[in-house]
């Protein structure tokens, strides 16, 4: 199955719009894992096993592994997810964005080395920096559009004077992702849960592309408002929570606590669906 098929199937099977972000910070890991040489892998694998029947996707963030020379642990984690949760698509959160020849290498990293089903990208350098990822049939690519951080206003909320109607930059990106850039139906958009009005605007401009929505949980995004703004019958949403689930407990019960928080968040999201 391609990424969208996997996403729809996992969402239906697990009755879920929840994505668990795998962002392991060594200083925040439970004490029982602090000394292990494979502690990033051990921690994330336990979270995966505890939540894989509650989610529509997992989203490992590459920087949390690469910063500690732990790419081998990320590779093992990807293999673990493939073996133990094969029905759940994996979005590699890499936010790459570079010229075509370099993008080809980044695409190979995401899809061949790590075996991701989708990847996050910056569209700032234009379509030729995105195109190499679309050469992988069935893989997904999520373009940063209206992100959850306050600094997103610096560029994303600025108007484009030389484009008809003077849309804001994030609106222009949404139109490109719904239209001319989405040649094989592989594109999605990243929009932050901290801006529900902008989610609704993006959804109006891009009614069918999947939306990856971070910011629920530790960042304070309103889960119910997020679903109301972004979910449509033909437009799936993937609502990410990382820290609130990962660090629900610092004790030996961390995996069970993560499961409990994931159950709570999934239920909150499902309750916001229209009757």
Examine the pLDDT at 164 and tell me if it is beyond 90: no
What pLDDT is stored for residue 150 in this prediction? Answer: 78
pTM for the whole structure = 0.95
- Is the pLDDT score of 35 beyond 80? no
Mean pLDDT of all residues in 71-98: 98
CB 230 within 8 A of CB 199: yes
Catalytic site residues? 95
What CATH code is assigned to 3-271? 3.20.20.70
Q: How confident is the model at residue 219 (pLDDT cuts 50, 70, 90)?
A: low
Supply the mean pLDDT for the chain: 94
Residue count of the chain, please give it. 275
In the chain, the percentage of residues whose pLDDT exceeds 70 is 99
**Every domain of the chain and the residues it spans:** 3-271
Q: What is the pLDDT of residue 275?
A: 76
Angle between helices 39-51 and 254-271 (to 10 degrees): 40
| 20 φ/ψ angles, rounded to the nearest 5 degrees | -100, 120
Determine which helix (DSSP H) or strand (DSSP E) holds 168, and give its type and residue range.
none
Alpha helices in the chain (DSSP H): 3-14, 39-51, 63-66, 71-84, 100-108, 153-156, 169-178, 196-205, 223-230, 243-246, 254-271
Has residue 246 got a pLDDT over 70?
yes
Q: Per-residue pLDDT tens for 88-147?
A: 999 999 999 999 999 999 999 999 999 999 999 999 999 999 999 999 999 999 999 988
Per the CB < 8 A criterion, the answer to whether 178 and 208 are in contact is yes
Maximum Cα interatomic distance, the chain, rounded to a whole number of Å: 58
Model confidence at 157: pLDDT above 90: no
Task: Count the alpha carbons within 13 Å of 275 in the hemisphere toward its beta carbon.
Answer: 0
């Amino acid at each position: 199955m391609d990424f969208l098929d996997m996403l729809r199937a996992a969402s239906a099977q697990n009755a879920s719009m929840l994505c668990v972000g795998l962002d392991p910070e060594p200083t925040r890991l439970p004490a029982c894992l602090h000394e292990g040489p494979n502690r990033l892998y051990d921690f994330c694998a336990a979270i995966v096993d505890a939540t894989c029947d509650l989610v529509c996707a997992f989203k490992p963030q590459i920087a949390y592994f690469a910063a500690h020379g732990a790419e081998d642990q990320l590779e093992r984690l990807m293999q673990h997810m493939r073996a133990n949760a094969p029905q759940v698509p994996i979005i590699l959160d890499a936010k790459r964005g570079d010229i075509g020849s370099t993008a080809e290498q980044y695409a190979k990293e995401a899809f061949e080395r790590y075996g991701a089903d989708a990847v996050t990208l910056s569209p700032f350098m234009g379509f030729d920096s995105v195109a190499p990822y679309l050469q992988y049939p069935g893989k997904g690519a999520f373009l940063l559009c209206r992100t959850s951080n306050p600094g997103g206003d610096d560029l994303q909320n600025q108007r484009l004077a030389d484009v008809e109607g003077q849309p804001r930059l994030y609106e222009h990106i949404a139109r490109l992702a719904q239209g001319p850039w989405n040649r094989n139906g592989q594109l999605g958009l990243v929009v932050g849960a901290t801006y529900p009005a902008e989610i609704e605007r993006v959804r109006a401009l891009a009614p069918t592309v999947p939306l990856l929505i971070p910011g629920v949980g530790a960042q304070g995004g309103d889960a119910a408002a997020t679903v109301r703004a972004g979910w449509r019958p033909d437009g799936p949403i993937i609502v990410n929570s990382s820290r609130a689930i990962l660090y629900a407990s610092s004790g030996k019960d961390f995996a069970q606590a993560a499961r409990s928080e994931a159950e709570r968040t999934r239920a909150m999201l499902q309750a916001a669906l229209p009757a």
